[in-house]
Amino acid sequence: MTGRICGTGSALPHLLVTNDDLSKIMDTSDEWISSRTGIKTRHLATEETTTGLAVEAAKKALEDAGITAEELDLIIAASVTADYLFPTLSCEVQGAIGAVNATAFDLSAGCSGFLFSLATAQAYIQSGICKKALLIGAEVLSKIMDWEDRSTCVLFGDGAGAAVVCADEEGIRSIIKGSDGAKGMALNCKNRPVNNPYQKNQAELSYTYMNGQEVYKFAVRTVPQCIEEVLQNAQMNAEDVDYFIVHQANIRIIEAVAKRLKQPMEKFPINLTECGNISAASVPILLDTVNRRGMMHRGDKIVLAGFGAGLTWGAAALTW
Ligand code: UT7
């Protein structure tokens, strides 16, 4: 038995903000953002919450999979911007959709969160612990951005993606993941400071910090390596792959991956142009877009890859 992705869903906030809109409130330009990253617009939450977006994506994924919430026995949500420290986002989703037979927990692995969730669900399925899992990547990153730091806030967006993974004969052929905690501070956001009767701190809010060039170098080195490794484990060649669904951080990173794998950019669907970087939600949102456009057919070979805070990375090779 292996895990097979049998349904996808996604949700985006209604407000669409262009690069030109941002250039009216900070010292930036469409020219800088487009040429350095490929990003043109991003959806930003106004009324929407991380939980609300996650629930909408989850309901669509269940409908696409043709199963009820009661059939789920596992829910994993990956997010760095859940609405509450507790209860977890996954428990909130469980309550909202009525998945009364599921165990729900959250997983934090930055932008690799969806790949880490997929690897966890796969281990549960292969060991017989569960048969039907709901995986969610959901972020409202705009709430942890410093809107006076143009080097980070223009890059990120908000949204949620979800996938149902069921035990089946065919599906995930290989999945790998890794982390390098020694480089963690290259991309960080502090939690609340200690503040108790014995250690008084001025409670200052922390926002996202990124050493863009360090993360960029890490990504162009690590992503092709982990895709090559997962393909080798799955006994597949890059030429066999129909689509590479890669974390959407920067078009130049994706172009570098395509070049290193000697594969055409047509095999790399893109949504960062519209959505920017949505961390753990980026891969499942793109997967849902490609699925709903009818671009994937049963039997197609797909590679998923994520990378980001931690630093972390992961890749999966699967049959659709
Ligand atoms: O999902 C997590 C993974 N994250 C990533 O993969 C991100 C990886 N890194 C990157 O994609 C790129 O490093 C960035 C897009 C973040 C930055 O591109 P860069 O080519 O590395 O630019 P830079 O940081 O070296 O900045 C170049 C210049 C600086 O000006 P000076 O010092 O050369 O005068 C910045 O101040 O661009 C300036 N700059 C901006 N200018 C206009 C930085 N942000 C902006 C901005 N608008 N928004």
**Ligand 1 midpoint to CA 36 (Å):** 7
Q: Whole-prediction pTM value?
A: 0.97
- Residue 201 annotated among the catalytic residues of the structure: no
What is the model's pLDDT at position 120? 98
Percent residues over pLDDT 70 in the chain: 100
DSSP H helical segments within 172-271, as ranges? 212-233, 251-261
- Residue 277 annotated among the catalytic residues of the structure: yes
What is the model's pLDDT at position 214? 97
Start-to-end CA span in the chain (Å): 15
Average pLDDT over residues 282-291: 98
Output b/e per residue, 16-48; b: 16+ Cβ within 10 A. ebebeebbeeeebeeeebeeebbbbbbbbbeeb
Of 111, 153, 189, 226, which one is the catalytic site residue? 111
From the CA of 252, give the closest atom in ligand 1: 11
Tokens of 216: 């960029």
If pLDDT is split at 50, 70 and 90, which confidence band does 179 have? very high
Average pLDDT over residues 137-159: 97
Q: What is the pLDDT of residues 247-262, one digit of tens each?
A: 999 999 999 999 999 9
Is the pLDDT at 171 greater than 90, yes or no?
A: yes
What is the model's pLDDT at position 250? 98
What is the model's pLDDT at position 200? 83
For the chain, what is the mean pLDDT?
97
- Residue 247 annotated among the catalytic residues of the structure: yes
199 versus 89: the higher-pLDDT residue is 89
Sign of CA dihedral 269, 6, 83, 204: negative
What is the model's pLDDT at position 202? 75
Tokens of 134: 């709901």
Does ligand 1 lie within 6 Å of residue 208's CB atom?
no
What is the model's pLDDT at position 201? 78
CB within 8 Å of 158: residues ≥ 6 apart: 12, 13, 42, 43, 44, 45, 48, 53, 139, 140, 141, 142, 278
Distances (CA, A) of 67 to 99, 138, 166, 262, 297: 11, 21, 10, 39, 20
Tokens 């004969």 belong to: 169
Q: For a ligand 1 pocket test, name from 216, 222, 257 the mutation site with the most ligand atoms within 8 angstroms of its C-beta.
A: 216
Q: What is the pLDDT of residues 11-32, one digit of tens each?
A: 999 999 999 999 999 999 999 9
If pLDDT is split at 50, 70 and 90, which confidence band does 228 have? very high
From the CA of 150, give the closest atom in ligand 1: 48
Distance CA 156, CA 154 (A): 6
Distance CA 142, CA 147 (A): 8
**Ligand 1 midpoint to CA 22 (Å):** 15
What is the model's pLDDT at position 186? 98
What is the model's pLDDT at position 193? 87
Distance CA 4, CA 6 (A): 6
Average pLDDT over residues 265-277: 98
What is the model's pLDDT at position 160? 98
Output b/e per residue, 60-73; b: 16+ Cβ within 10 A. bbbebbebebebbb
What is the model's pLDDT at position 298? 95
Average pLDDT over residues 159-186: 98
Distance CA 77, CA 62 (A): 15
Does ligand 1 lie within 6 Å of residue 209's CB atom?
no
Nearest to 32 by CA among 15, 16, 44, 20: 20
What is the model's pLDDT at position 204? 77
Q: What is the pLDDT of residues 196-211, one digit of tens each?
A: 999 887 777 899 999 9
Distance CA 157, CA 15 (A): 11
Is the pLDDT at 106 greater than 90, yes or no?
A: yes
Average pLDDT over residues 152-174: 98
Does ligand 1 lie within 6 Å of residue 35's CB atom?
no
